[in-house]
Amino acid sequence: MNRMLKKGDMVSLATGLTRPSREEAEAAVRTLIRWSGDDPDREGLTGTPDRVVRSYEEFFAGYDQDPRDMLQRTFEEVEGYDEVVVLRDIRLESHCEHHMVPIIGKVHVGYLPDKRVVGISKLARVVDAFAHRLQIQEKLTAQIANTLQDVLQPRGVAVVIEAAHQCMTTRGVHKSDVTMVTSRMLGAFRDNGETRREFLTMIGRTSV
């Protein structure tokens, strides 16, 4: 349950939840170090709580970002361009919400413009904003595609994610070299087989 807000409290933009203080977060890391069987006060670990919290600020920066805002500026001077726009091999770095270990891979994003386009860096920023939260790959795929469709209102959106999950490769079943592939096709990419095949060809795949 969310505690009562106090002056100076930090609130997550994505969830509206109040964050613990930095001191509370560092204390939690110290507890985990002790639980693992080590001494948080020994020389090699004294700075670890601070470093972990700073790492988490980077890993989970997406909770303080609004992906929809990133897509607000668009361009209509496209000289009638109405073909597929694809940004492929976007580096994906996320964390599994079940075990809090990395998900590493790549994202391919395509859309079919309807009179306006968006800067390609914004597509990568949208991917990062959702990825830098605790995630499952299926939800991440849908969030990216749905946001692009809702904000840009193109004739279609396609998103494919290929990623390795360390919750499977470094623990549990310990299966290395396994890649999970997810996709979400909207509009023309769902309804028109030729448009979908064009996108898949551009990202170097024959199917998903």
Q: Which of 24, 57, 72, 98 is catalytic?
A: 98
Q: Which of 23, 79, 167, 194 is catalytic?
A: 167
Q: Which of 99, 149, 162, 166 is catalytic?
A: 99
96 is catalytic: yes
Q: Which of 65, 132, 135, 137 is catalytic?
A: 137
Q: Which of 97, 143, 149, 153 is catalytic?
A: 97
97 is catalytic: yes
- Please choose, from the candidates 135, 130, 123, 137, the residue with its C-alpha nearest in 3D space to the C-alpha of residue 183: 137
132 is catalytic: no
Q: Which of 96, 132, 135, 143 is catalytic?
A: 96
Q: Which of 108, 162, 165, 198 is catalytic?
A: 165
98 is catalytic: yes
108 is catalytic: no
Which residues are catalytic, by number? 96-99, 137, 165, 167
